[in-house]
Amino acid sequence: MHYPGLDTWMRTRRAKSPDKAALITGDGEIVTYRRLADAADRVSALLCARAIGRGDSVAYLGENSPEFLATLFGCAQLGAVFVPVNTRLAPPEILHVLADSRARVLVHDRGFADRLAPLVSAVGIAHVIETGDLSGVETGDLSVVEVGSEQREFAAGPDDPAAIIYTSGTTGRAKGAVLTHGNLTWVAINSLVDYDIVSTDVALMISPLFHVASLGMGALPVLLKGGTIVLEKGFDPGRALRLIAEHGVTMLSGVPTTYQLMADHPDWPSTDLSTLTKLTCGGSAVPTRILNAYEDRGLHFSQGYGMTETSPGATSLSPAMTREKQGSVGLPHFFTEVRVAAEDGPGVGPGSVGEIQITGPNVFAGYLHQPEATASAFTPDGWFRSGDLGFVDADGYLFISDRLKDMIISGGENIYPAEVENLISDLDGVTGVAVIGVPDGQWGEVPWAIVTVREGASVDTASVRGHLDGRLARYKVPKHVVVVGELPRTATGKVKKAELRSRFGRS
């Protein structure tokens, strides 16, 4: 039996809802499903004319746009593999992605041409294509190529590669996670089930689509269901509030900082937010002060946990359980299983910390060109080893303790930075926090807190330690607090703790 992959999505949507708005661009232009499907056909024809087919990698460097999605689906229709490139990478990092993925084609926005010229020659890219306007007004390649009879037919199977998403590389050079048509289809289905996505939903997309969460759990489920995406190139809190009211946005995804900046904006009290019914937050637990600000407006969060290798969803916490299970990332997605296991393999009971392991049709196929890394990422019985520590409670709800590599061992005691960070983030004036281990002659290492603060706020070691007094064991309380202007982050918002450890005394 054949199970259709992403290669069929646009053709089917064009038949079922041709005149429905698929996308609303930053300048207010409406792109219907018919237009998006036609654009995907043009991309497919363009690539086919350049002898691109099954298994060939097509890199894409550009901001959120209709062309991004048209290229994704155009690749899928040929069996080519879509490789979105993080636009915030430095040239050597872009070079690594292009070389490692063995990209034969590079599609890019006009603004990146100068940066890419020396890289293309270095890795021998066969074809470079500049994006154009879908309306056909401009003359970019994607807008003028006609679909030819020579376009190849391709029927994707669930195990065929659809995309290669490069991990953030916080512990070294980024690895390419191979996501199949089955992976991306099932993560979209999990999202439909657990977040109640419907065809009348309007999703505001403020995060970059090269981020797997924005793609796998944002854009794809909405397009699968036939909803509408308001597609933004970036995030501005005031503009986001205006767009919510203007377009009747029902869905919004972000990280805690996103939601905090919106709640702190002068337009927050006066903006009509009555259409919002689905708020999802990832990256870390939602601090109490943010929960309070949104609940005061009648808004409630879904939270979750995942990673690139799980496409990315692994668990979700429903809004109904946000308070009762505060700090939890929820239960496994409908078609996904999660367990917590000891270092030697056996599962551990409720309340015991162990490694979080995941299985399901959304778990990736492996790391590109890295069989040893792929093998070590899975247990002997086939579960993906997340490298994260956590525990489940008596009801099966998962709580994240920390990354194995980020755990601090002080005087023989394990300290999980996430636990400390969650409490510090509730301190008034703190806008960002990272807890790291710093070498100590007596204890081996001790925790330090690196924080950013709101303008005009006063936060120091004494205030943080006072805030934590009685809430944490003394050995977990940071010995020192450093206020910085900005925390180093990846494009997906993760704090680069390795960089902080290097800066403050531990490599």
The number of distinct structural domains making up the chain is 2
Q: Which two tokens stand for residue 170?
A: 């916080």
Contact in structure between 286 and 305 (CB atoms under 8 Å): no
Q: Among 202, 227, 247, which residue terminates a domain? A: 202
Range of 199-203, 253-257, 491-495, 498-502 with top mean pLDDT: 199-203
Token pair 């915030």 is at which residue?
88
Q: Which two tokens stand for residue 176?
A: 């390419």
**Domain assignment of residue 103, yes or no:** yes
In 3-state terms, the chain is what percent helix, strand and coil (to 5)? 35, 25, 40
Give the gyration radius of the chain's Cα atoms: 23
Helix (H) or strand (E) holding 24: strand 21-24
- Structure confidence at residue 344 as a pLDDT band (50, 70, 90): low
Q: Tell me the pLDDT of the chain averaged across its residues.
A: 89
Q: Which residues have C-beta within 8 Å of that of residue 176, sequence separation ≥ 6?
A: 83, 97, 100, 101, 164, 165, 166, 167, 367, 368, 369
pLDDT at 105: 95
The 3-class SS string of 148-210 reads CCCCCCCCCCCCCEEEEEECCCCCCCCCEEEEEHHHHHHHHHHHHHHHCCCCCCEEEECCCCC
pLDDT per position as a tens digit, 421-430: 988 998 999 9
Range with lowest mean pLDDT among 38-47, 127-136, 160-169, 496-505: 127-136
CATH number at 424 reads 3.30.300.30
**Domain assignment of residue 109, yes or no:** yes
Residue numbers of the domain that contains 196: 6-202
Q: Among 202, 226, 255, which residue terminates a domain? A: 202
Write the DSSP string, 124-147: T-SEEEE---TTSSS--HHHHPPP
Question: pLDDT above 70 covers what percent of the chain?
Answer: 92
| Distance in angstroms between the alpha carbons of the first and the last residue of the chain | 52
CB-based burial label for 296 (10 Å; 0-12, 13-18, 19+): exposed
pLDDT per position as a tens digit, 49-66: 999 999 999 999 999 999
pLDDT at 180 over 60: yes
pLDDT per position as a tens digit, 462-492: 999 999 988 877 888 999 999 999 999 876 6
**Domain assignment of residue 308, yes or no:** no
**Domain assignment of residue 228, yes or no:** no
Residue 384's nearest CA partner among 177, 224, 210, 221 is 177
Q: What is the mean pLDDT of the segment spanning 81-104?
A: 91
CATH number at 14 reads 3.40.50.12780
Q: Among 202, 227, 250, which residue terminates a domain? A: 202
**Domain assignment of residue 121, yes or no:** yes
Q: What is the mean pLDDT of the segment spanning 198-225?
A: 96
Q: Using a CB cutoff of 8 Å and minimum separation of 24, what contacts does 317-325 make?
A: 317/397, 318/194, 319/279, 321/397, 322/286, 322/291, 323/291, 325/393, 325/395, 325/397
Q: Which residues have C-beta within 8 Å of that of residue 455, sequence separation ≥ 6?
A: none
Length of the chain: 507
Q: Which amino acid is at 412?
A: G
